Every structure is written in structure tokens, then in C-alpha cells.
Structure 1
Amino acid sequence: MSLPPYVSRSIVSERLPLIFPEGTPNRTYCIRELAASAVFTAIYIGAVEGAARYLGPVHVYRMTEQQAALADSGSREAYAAGILKKKFRVPGERWYADNTREPIRDETLRDGLVAVGAVLRREDLPTTSGLPRYQLKGSFAGLFDPALEGEGLEKAIANFQATHLSKSALARISIILAGAAGKEGGVLVTFPNKETRTLAPGPSSIISKDVIEVFSAHFLDKPAVLWLSESGNKVVAKDDKLAAAIGLKIEADKNLPDLILADLGPADPLIVFVEVVATDGAMTKRRKEAMLELTDAAGFPRTQIAFLTAYQDRESAGFKKTVAGLAWGSFAWLVSEPKGIIHMRDGETSFRLLDAVIKT
């Protein structure tokens, strides 16, 4: 089988972020220099689906600029076979040291490109085998053909994403794209009572929109929005009449969360305080206690209060930064996995409360 068209590492590096946009699981592993080096080398030696040749970390870390510049088939064939021999000489200085083997194998390949369906791994070799075991998927390798440009490249990338990226990955990407699309006109939100508001553009508004439109519809029987704010404590929506009807006094100058929802379905309404996290600001113990002061003053039993932190997804920087500080007894919800919910159970919070106020 002939080798794939030669492509430079710089072109590979340029295209990887297009193929794996923001929201892709473990995106860093898929687009960084080490990933570009691995993909370049796989194409260089012809380790592509359907060929009888496989890539190993050694092919990547022993590559040099001088060798990479040799684009003729003879040089590429010689490197592919020769690199597995101890006495094989490669001109120039190596790209990486021998101890890069583990990051290439474990991060770039296993947790990155294999996990997103771009790279295949041989399963017929023992785990202890030192033989090369990786190949690029044919459809993935084809995205780096230098002759593929412009609209043709865009269509090929879109086809690959639709076919190979997981549903959750596609959901994350859609969230990012939705945020980008809303940069000009803002984010339009439809409330449970069918009223609409336009929020300022940005990731926090995208998450707030999904809390109101998706979370509340799935987890609350008869949802209502009592309070909605944006950065800078700007009041976007405030339903004093409804809040007063259920005994809750909302004061804008208090330490309020991003959202206050109510479930009017139960005989005793449920109040849900929501923090929206794009980068920071989760429902911590301190924030939870501040909310309880408000509801205690209004005479609400604590069994009628719930606390939620809403994130874009578990791969987001905000989730990774703040999840360790979430208050016990609170919940976390991910826009990219809307049917699931995380319960920070502290051993005292009853599961019966969860069953009573949240539909599974």
C-alpha cells in the first residue's frame, strides 16, 4: 500500500484545533504539539487504517527536523522500519527525550486521540508488548491531505465530527458554538411562563438559558423563575409578586445567587438557589449558608430548599476548578449531560428528599 501524501507538522498543528474544537473531551491532549507530532509521524510512516504498519511512541520521540523534512517515500519507509532497530541512526536532534514515551502513549494516544475515535489501537497484543500498536483512522488521516482545502476541508471535518465524536462531545461543541453565535445579539431565554428575555452574550448566559429551559423542565414539576441576574448583579428578571405569594422576600442588595427557581407543583413549594459557573462562583458552603439565612428569615423549612451549581460540562475549566469546593447537600448539573444530576450527599441529607423534589 502506498504512503499517504506527505504533510508538514505545521499543517497538522493548524488543523487539529479545527477538527477538535472547544468542548472536545481532553481537547488539550488532542491539539497540543505532542499530538501534532504523533499525527505527523503516523502519516509519515504510513500507520493508517488498512495498512500493515503501526505507530509506536518511539517513532514520535526519535523523530528529528532533518528526518521530518525528508519527504520521499524511500526515506519514510526506511525510518518506519529502521527506528525499531537499536543501531538505526537518525540525522539531527530528537524532538523529544525517551521519557516522553508515557505522555505520548497515555495522554496523547490513549486518553486523547483513541478516546475520541481518531486513532485505532491493536487489541491482539499483550499489554507488555513493545511492538507498535496504533493507526490513524482512515477518515481522520484524510483530513490532513494538503490538497484538501477551503470548503472541501470544512465539509470533511464536519463529516468526521458527526461520525466519530461522541454524543456528549458533540453536545459540548454545540454549547460552545451557541455561545459564539450569540456574541452579536445576546442569548434569548424563554421562561416557563413563555415570557422571553435577552441575556448578555457569553458562556454564563448559555448555561443560565439551559438551566431555565432544560433543567427546570426535566427536574421540576411546575417550574417558575423568581430571580435571574447577570454579572455585576444586574437584575434581568425579578418576580416579587410570585415570591411574596410563597412567602419569600427577594432583596436585590442581598447576597443572592445567579438564579432562584421555584417548583410550584408540590403542596409546599420548593425553592432552588442556582449558581452558574463558567469560570468561578460555585455553590460553596459559605454561599449555601448565606442563602439559608434568607430562607430562615422568611420562615421556610430547610427541607423545602435546594442548592444547585450549573456547569457547561465536566471537562470545563470552571468545573475542574470549583467542584472540590461544592457544599455538601447541594447538587450539580451539567448542560452537556442534561438528564443526570450530581448529589453531594453528606450522610445526613435524606435520599427521600431527592425522590420527592426531583424527578428521575
Structure 2
Amino acid sequence: MMALATREEVHARLQAIFPDGTPNRAYVTRMLAASAVFTALYVDAIEGSGTFLGPKHVYRMTDEQAAQVDDAARATYATGILRTGGQIEGKRWYQDNTREPIRDETLREGLVAIGAVTERTDLATTSSKPRYALKESFAALFDPELTGEALQVRITAWQDAALNKGALARLAIVRRGAGVSVDQVLVTFPNGETRRMKPGPSSEITKAVVEVFAPSFLAEPAVVFLSESGNKVVARDDDLARSIGLSIQADKNLPDTILVDLGPTHPMLVFVEVVATDGPISQRRKEALEALVAEAGFPAEHVAFVTAYLDRSAGPFKKTVDSLAWGSYAWFAAEPERLIVFSEGHGSLKGRP
């Protein structure tokens, strides 16, 4: 059996292996995931070994058992804990009702879905037999002898080889958006014009809004107004605004970006607030923007409100999601083809899939 890292060391490595942007990151980086991976390593449930992990291995583990790292103790636990009435010394890590979160969230929706764990296909879905094993290349990342730069090189190589294309693309977007850059961010508008913005996460998200969101969700997009942190105006098209009946006045309530869809018979105005840390379109913010539109004489039914984030698994969205206004939308640069609708309607769900 391979040498063991501690559960705490496993937990720390999971943070590096699955950075912000990883699908279902919470499921594969929390302590419950570390417990599952540690236990799989403990019982040698690694692809090709012939040994498999079940949820019971995880929730019946104790600190006392985990400290017994000789091969005989590990092999005895792997089989003995599965027997009816099997008991071991010490207080169990989890209770029996943790079975479902281990099986469904940590394993099936987390580590199996992302390509780190394999699942037996020769067992009935109702079978209680262990069915999970760490993929060999993933298990190798927890070798306690592997540290520093060598560990990071191995992690990067595993991500490139093991993660699916969608996950890799999402990670790349998040890394670029969350990274520290010294270069200005060049934003290309729908009409081909370009503007430079100060480097930083907010500018990267704004760039994605203009270059990705606008052409994806608007038929004939155009930029009416664009600013960056510090209220510096990057672009402002008063002629375009007047042509659609909108008067833009210097106002503290102006959002980061104002887009317009010129495709419909009546243009659609889209207020976009970029959130790198805080400041979503809350109910108060939405009402202030609605008042601004009303003063300009623009029909409220032709206005949409969008809060743009880098990624839904990261802190800014989790921090602000409960303050997002009903009747608004949330969009993520890491998943550009998706749009969350915070509906305030009262329609029935009967007959819907």
C-alpha cells in the first residue's frame, strides 16, 4: 500500500487540485471530501488494486484507526468494517446519516463526475457492496513525498490530462479573471471599436460581458455606457442613447455597463452590474435604476437587469446571491452559455420538465 498523507494534508491538497472554477468545487474540497479520499487511500481503494471504497468506510473511520498505518491494520479495516456489527476503537468521524452526502455529493456528483474517481458498473444500483476507487493518477497526487514545485507540476499535468474540456475551459476563464495582471484589458465592442480598461478581475468580467454575453443573448448588441471602478467612464455613446429615447445623466446609480439590443422592434435596454467582490443588482439597486429609466421616459417593460460574476462556485456569488433582486438575471463568465433567472412570476410549474 502507498504511504499515507494525513487527512488534513489531503484536505489542503484538494484546494490546490480543484481551484476556483472547478464544477461542484464545494463537494470536492470540503473536509467530507478529504475524509473520503483519505479513507480510499487508507484501504487502498485505488484503480487496479481490486479494492473498492464504500460510504461505510468513511463514516465509520476514527482518529484512532487512522493513526494505525501499517498494512495489516489497513487491510483489516477495509474488510472488517463492512461486516455486520463491525466495530473499531474510538469515536466515528460521521454518523450513518452521512451516507447519502458521501455517496451522492462527494462521490457521484463530485469526484466521479470530474474524473478523479471510478465507479464499478457491474453492480446493481441497489447493491451495498463498495464500488468506488481513486483513479491511479489522482491517488498519486497525495504521495506525502511529493511536495513543493514537483507537486504543483504533477497537479497541473493531472488537470490537463484528466479534466474534461468543459472543466478545463472553465478553470482557464476563472484563472484569467482572478489573476493579477499588469497589462491593461482590451475590450472589443460589438461595432469593432476597442477600449482599454485598468487591469483586474472587474475589467476581465466586463470584457466578457461585452464580448461574450452581449452577442450571445442580444440579437443586435451595442454599448451605451461602460465604466470601471472609481466611476471612471470608459465609453459613453450619448448619440446612441438619444436615438433610443434614453437620456444618460451623471448619476451615482448608473451601473457598470449599459447595453442595448437594437434587434427588437422596440430596443431592449440591459443594465449590467459587474461583481468581483460586492455590489450586485439588489432590490434597492433595481428600483433606483427603474426610477432612472422612468425619468428618461424609457418603457420599463423593455429593460432587463443582469449581475455578472466570474464564477458561481466562488465567494462573490455565494456572498451576494441572497440579495439579488427578483426579476433580474445572473450571468457567469466561466459558464457563458448559461443564465440564471430570478423570476418574480406566479405561473404554474405543472406540465414542465
CA shift for structure 1 position 284? 4.8
Q: Select which of 226, 229, 235 maps to 2:227.
A: 229
Matched, 1:182 2:180: yes
Matching residue of 1:199: 198
Matching residue of 1:322: 321
Matched, 1:11 2:16: no
Secondary structure class of the residue paired with 2:51: coil
CA shift for structure 1 position 151? 4.2
Change (3 A) 1:189 1:75: same
Check conservation: 1:283, 1:307, Cα contact below 8 A: yes
Check conservation: 1:229, 1:258, Cα contact below 8 A: yes
Change (3 A) 1:179 1:51: same
Check conservation: 1:187, 1:206, Cα contact below 8 A: yes
Change (3 A) 1:66 1:299: closer
Change (3 A) 1:261 1:88: closer
Counterpart of 2:5, as a letter, is V
Residues 275-332 of structure 1 show CA distances to partners (whole Å, capped at 9, x for unaligned) of 223455444555444334333443434565333332334434444543784433x444
Residues 174-211 of structure 1 show CA distances to partners (whole Å, capped at 9, x for unaligned) of 23311333354464433344322223523x33221100
Q: Equivalents in 2 of 1:261, 1:145: separation in Å?
A: 51
Counterpart of 1:61, as a letter, is Y
Change (3 A) 1:186 1:13: farther
Q: Equivalents in 2 of 1:246, 1:282: separation in Å?
A: 26
Counterpart of 1:22, as a letter, is D
Q: Equivalents in 2 of 1:344, 1:103: separation in Å?
A: 27
Matching residue of 1:65: 63
Secondary structure class of the residue paired with 1:39: helix
CA shift for structure 1 position 260? 0.5
Check conservation: 2:330, 2:339, Cα contact below 8 A: yes
Q: Which runs of 5+ in 2 are unaligned?
A: 348-353
CA shift for structure 1 position 74? 1.8
Counterpart of 2:309, as a letter, is Y
Matching residue of 2:140: 142
Change (3 A) 1:223 1:122: same
Change (3 A) 1:157 1:231: same
Counterpart of 1:130, as a letter, is S
Change (3 A) 1:10 1:302: closer
Larger deviation, residues 223-232 vs 108-117: 223-232
CA RMSD of aligned residues (A): 3.1
CA shift for structure 1 position 80? 1.2
Check conservation: 1:168, 1:337, Cα contact below 8 A: no
Q: How many aligned residue pairs are there? A: 345
Q: Give TM-score, length-normalised by structure 2.
A: 0.83
Q: Which runs of 5+ in 1 are unaligned?
A: 350-360
Check conservation: 1:185, 1:201, Cα contact below 8 A: no
Check conservation: 2:4, 2:42, Cα contact below 8 A: yes
Change (3 A) 1:254 1:63: closer
Q: Give TM-score, length-normalised by structure 1.
A: 0.81
Change (3 A) 1:303 1:10: closer
Q: Select which of 247, 250, 256 maps to 1:249.
A: 247
Q: Equivalents in 2 of 1:96, 1:266: separation in Å?
A: 57
Matching residue of 1:335: 333
Matching residue of 1:154: 152
Secondary structure class of the residue paired with 1:307: strand
Q: Equivalents in 1 of 2:302, 2:11: separation in Å?
A: 53
Check conservation: 2:26, 2:313, Cα contact below 8 A: no
Q: Select which of 305, 310, 317 maps to 1:307.
A: 305
Matching residue of 1:293: 291
Secondary structure class of the residue paired with 1:227: strand
Change (3 A) 1:346 1:65: closer
Secondary structure class of the residue paired with 1:115: helix
Counterpart of 1:310, as a letter, is A
Counterpart of 2:237, as a letter, is D
Q: Equivalents in 2 of 1:345, 1:67: separation in Å?
A: 50
Larger deviation, residues 169-178 vs 49-58: 169-178
Q: Select which of 113, 116, 120 maps to 1:115.
A: 113
Secondary structure class of the residue paired with 2:114: coil
Change (3 A) 1:260 1:98: same
Q: Equivalents in 1 of 2:233, 2:57: separation in Å?
A: 58
Change (3 A) 1:32 1:268: closer
Check conservation: 2:174, 2:334, Cα contact below 8 A: no
Counterpart of 1:21, as a letter, is P
Matched, 1:40 2:38: yes
Matching residue of 1:357: none
Q: Equivalents in 1 of 2:31, 2:264: separation in Å?
A: 54
Residues 120-156 of structure 1 show CA distances to partners (whole Å, capped at 9, x for unaligned) of 2234334443322211112211211234344443333
Counterpart of 1:71, as a letter, is V
